[in-house]
Chains A and B, each alone.
Chain A
Amino acid sequence: MRTYRIQLNERSYTVAVEQTGDHDFKVTLDGETFNVESLTKHEISTSLVQSGNDSIRAQTRVLSTDKVDVWLAGAAFQAAVRVIGAGGYTLASHDMGEERVGGSIRAPMPGRITSILVKEGEAVETGTPLLILEAMKMQNELTSPTSGLVKSVHVREGDTVKKDSLLLVVGGNASNPTKVLAP
């Protein structure tokens, strides 16, 4: 038996798993017992998770020792996994917090910069539209997370950017990440 700490979105769950057969597992979470049948093929596990009268099909994939992707009931989850308990070892989870750098505006998705709405040195306020990133035909307006001055612009109109690439820096004490607003 092994116990894991599973972080999903804002919550974390303690889950104990015991293998009871080739493909069978008994799992407990908050006193609730689940029976799981799981078959792994080509790195993807297909599971049937049962508890009482509920039974849910799930697909899972281990990305690394501390990350598992889960798809079930049409929804997608990314789980951060830590091993805990007797005989276990603890893995630091580096992906549980967000990397939030001051007023750095990074691309939230891969796409193309269709317009840059501000210039270097320009004063902006929280919520001022900075640039428009087009991805999958959608125009995503990136707004300033803070008020201050535009310190540097790292892209040009028409540039194709990868996810997370640095687009623009706004000076000031940013505490909130940039948000993507509906156009």
Chain B
Amino acid sequence: MKLLIANRGEIALRIIRTCRKLGVRTVQTYSDPDRNSLPLRYADERYALGGATPAESYLNIEKLVHAALKTECDAVHPGYGFLSEESSFVKACEENRLTFIGPSSKALEKLGNKLSARDTMRQAGVPVIPGSDRTVNDEDEAVKVAESIGYPAILKAVYGGGGRGMRIAKNSGETRGFFRVTQLESLSAFGRGDIYIEKRLSSPRHVEIQALCDKHGKVVSLGERECSIQRRHQKLLEEAPSVALSEDLRHRLNEAAKKGLLAAGYTNAGTVEFLLDKSGEFYFLEVNKRLQVEHLVTEMTTNIDLIEEQLKIATTTSLELSQNEIHINGWAINCRINAEDPRTFAPSPGTVIHYHPPTGPGVRIDSALFSGYTIPEYYDSMVAKLATRGRDREEAIQRMRVALDEIEIAGVPTTIPLHKLLMHDEGFIQGNFDTTYLNSILPHLKSNLLGLEKFAAVAAATCRLGNAARPPVPEKDEASKWRTSARAHHMVGHGAG
């Protein structure tokens, strides 16, 4: 088998690792800014897509299919994001006899948008969040629907995903005000402006079930992941298992996920996301029809190589694993390290001038970083996934503290300070948190950073003296980009007060 990788960064490298293990040849596609990226050095072949923007490269179906045919690949792995859930891409692969490593185009369509997914789940008897069953057409209808389900309500892009294209309205004035902006945003981000409305649950937890399915109707659950630590509806930290589930609730969630996936005729690796409210009721949120960013915590607790299973299901059409072979062992936590200002989450592309990854027992880092790497502004801000595993949650946290202290990334600001804050936060340690928790502890970050300032001042002064005789660094493009970026954060941080 020869596999085309239609993705970039750490997930491309992750796919290449399993392929090398199995002796599968790989072709790494790349855009212009990714010309010097790490996956290119480990793949068997490279294929230039040309262009810098996602639309010109990793989102370009024609170019990718052409690349696969030209390099004589028989399969395509889409990774996550980009075209991983795009049914027209899956169709194009199917038409060109390329095995798509993921669900069939049919299953994708059944779960294709948020409304059809809700419909499929409701029919399968899986509880869904109260909300509109169809697209809301204008401000008046939006207000009517929101008032009938009660505030706060969420305006959501029907074709949205990844935490984008949604806004929370607390009253009818806000519903009216947000409708057009959400519609425009949805149109620009997802190509469709359709909006629907859902009830906003108060302080829910986000728990999801990782499953593997084949076309013969076999569904196996690899257990849950807890993903409640989020910023702007995007996950920042994930763990497996979840402290929030009793054995009974765990069983019910697993059964609901399996039932829903079966009803959708789903194949390959998929995740069913649920929101869990304070009373222990759970509601279907969405199906992630791909391998997820946080898959590594499941790999660490089940000892199963998810990409290997994906390749096997796609090529043999059947799933070998059975439910009684799945054992959850220990606890794993993943911290997403993004090139972002930790206080404002403003993205900060730039050059990493120094990188030292942590290691040691129970430590795993999935990253395509290296010293000298320039993080492009065109793609996602996540630069590394730092995960630790322990016998129990306490040991996983202890190991994460050490790993977070060990890691060194210089050149751009990152979310590391936030993860450090969490690893020492009593609420997090006790397991008492929900999707609003991160926001509530953000004020502590400021005092943590303030506590480091005297050390920063000492380091800066020493550096200045040590370099007094030396000419300063010429103002390279990367350097000025970082500086201006830092100035923006300053502006954001203090302008809001």
A residues engaging B (CB < 8 A)?
2, 4, 6, 8-11, 13, 15-17, 19, 25, 27, 29-30, 32, 34, 36, 38, 40, 43-47, 49, 51, 54, 56-65, 67-79, 81, 95, 98, 108-112, 114-115, 117, 129, 132, 134-141, 145, 157, 163-164, 176-180, 182-183
- Asked if B417 and A73 make an inter-chain contact with CB atoms under 8 angstroms apart, the answer reads yes
Contacts A9-B453, A25-B465, A177-B495 known; A109 to B459 CB distance under 8 Å? no
Q: Is the CB of B354 within 8 A of A44?
A: yes
Give the distance in Å from the alpha carbon of A183 to the alpha carbon of B465 in the complex: 44
B139 at the interface (CB under 8 A from A): no
From known contacts A59-B354, A61-B473, A163-B488, infer whether A136 and B184 are also in contact, taking CB-CB under 8 Å. Answer: no
Q: Give the residue name and chain of the B residue nearest to A55 (CB).
A: B455
Contact A179 B455 (CB under 8 A): no
Q: Given contacts A75-B449, A98-B491, list 5 more A-B pairs with CB under 8 A.
A: A6-B460, A25-B466, A44-B410, A108-B492, A138-B232
* Contact status B381-A137, CB under 8 Å: yes
| Residues in B450-472 with C-beta less than 8 Å from chain A | 450, 452-468, 470, 472
* A141 CB to nearest chain B CB (Å): 7
A35 and B374 CA atoms in complex are apart in Å by 33
Contacting residues, chain B, for A46 (C-beta < 8 A): 354
* Cβ B353 vs Cβ A44 within 8 A: yes
A-B contact pairs, 6 of them (CB 8 A): A15-B461, A36-B459, A36-B462, A62-B464, A70-B460, A183-B185
Pick the contact of A47 from B189, B381, B463, B496 — CB < 8 Å?
A: B463
Whether A71 contacts B410 by the Cβ 8 Å rule is yes
Q: Which residues of B contact A95 (CB under 8 A)?
A: 487
Q: Judge if B483 is at the interface, Cβ distance under 8 Å.
A: yes
Report yes or no: B459 in contact with A74, Cβ–Cβ below 8 A. no
- Asked if residues B380 and A29 are in contact (CB atoms below 8 Å), the reply is no
Q: Which residues of chain B have a CB within 8 Å of any CB of chain A?
A: 53, 162, 164-167, 180-181, 184-185, 188-189, 232, 339, 342, 344-349, 353-354, 377-381, 404-405, 407-414, 416-417, 419-420, 449-450, 452-468, 470, 472-473, 475, 479, 481-488, 490-496
Check B460 against A38 for contact (C-beta < 8 Å): no
Beyond A63-B473, A68-B460, A139-B185, whether A13 also contacts B346 by CB under 8 A is no
Q: A44-B353, A115-B184, A136-B380 are in contact. Are A4 and B346 (CB under 8 A)?
A: no
**Contact (Cβ within 8 A) A74 B492:** no
Verify B457–A108 contact, CB threshold 8 A. Answer: no
Contacts of B410 in A (CB 8 A): 44, 59, 61, 69, 71, 76
Q: B416–A75 contact, CB under 8 A? A: yes
Using Cβ atoms and an 8 Å threshold, which residues of chain B touch A81? 460-461, 464
What residues of A have a CB within 8 angstroms of the CB of B487 in the complex? 95, 98
- Of all A-B residue pairs in the complex, the 7 with the closest CB atoms, nearest first, are A74-B416, A76-B413, A136-B347, A79-B460, A60-B463, A59-B410, A108-B488
A180 near B346 (CB under 8 angstroms)?
yes
The CA of A28 and the CA of B409, in the complex, are separated in Å by 27
Inter-chain contact A63/B472, CB cutoff 8 Å? yes
Which A residues lie within 8 Å of B232 (CB)?
138, 182-183
Query: Which of B377, B420, B473 makes the CB contact (< 8 A) with A73?
Result: B420
Other-chain contact of A74, B346, B407, B488 (Cβ < 8 Å): B407
The main secondary structure of chain A at its interface with chain B is strand
Measured in the bound complex, the distance between the Cα atoms of B53 and A112 in whole Å is 10
Instruction: Name B420's closest neighbour in chain A (CB-CB).
Output: A74
A82 to B459, CA, bound (A): 14
Q: Which residues of B contact A62 (CB under 8 A)?
A: 463-464, 467, 470, 472-473
Cβ-defined contact, B481 with A163, below 8 A: yes
Q: Give the most central of A79, A137, A141: most B CB within 10 Å.
A: A137
**CB atoms of B483 and A63 under 8 A apart:** yes
Q: Which residue of A lies closest to B178 (CB)?
A: A129
B347, B349, B458, B482: most-surrounded residue (chain A CB, <10 A): B458
* Chain A residues in 8 Å Cβ range of B458: 15, 27, 29, 34, 36, 49
CB-CB under 8 A from B409, the residues of chain A are 71, 74
Residues of A within 8 A of B53 (CB): 112
A110 to chain B: closest residue by CB = B377
